Structure 1
């Protein structure tokens, strides 16, 4: 009977963890990495829009692709002009 209480207590603790939002065996969220081609394509579209003085461009600024392109743009060094 003591064994049954021990097992019951453990399962109750597990249920409480799930109710509290703690999932000990859950995999962490997958970080989606975009390919260099996707990032380069978006960077090119943004550069063309900027060069053509397009007043409004509509991109999801919260998307991981847009943020990756902006981060790459901040560290990007264009080739020197000869």
Structure 2
């Protein structure tokens, strides 16, 4: 995941959530199909998902999780950072 973020930053495709101050900015810079990442520490990223819809103060996502014998996809609504 760290490589994904590094490459996105290098190519100018990384958008910090804190820089998206209005719903219009969120919708124009983070269209459905975009990837989002969750930062674990200053240098580590711990989770990735796909944006399915951008709302005024949240975004809907598709996220996959694995663990043990079970593999699943879930749809979530996440608050904006």
TM-score by length of 1: 0.26
**Taking CA–CA contacts closer than 8 Å with sequence separation of 6 or more, which of the two structures ends up with the larger relative contact order?**
1
TM-score by length of 2: 0.27
Q: Which has the higher helix share?
A: 1
Q: Which has the higher strand share?
A: 2
Structure of greater Rg: 1
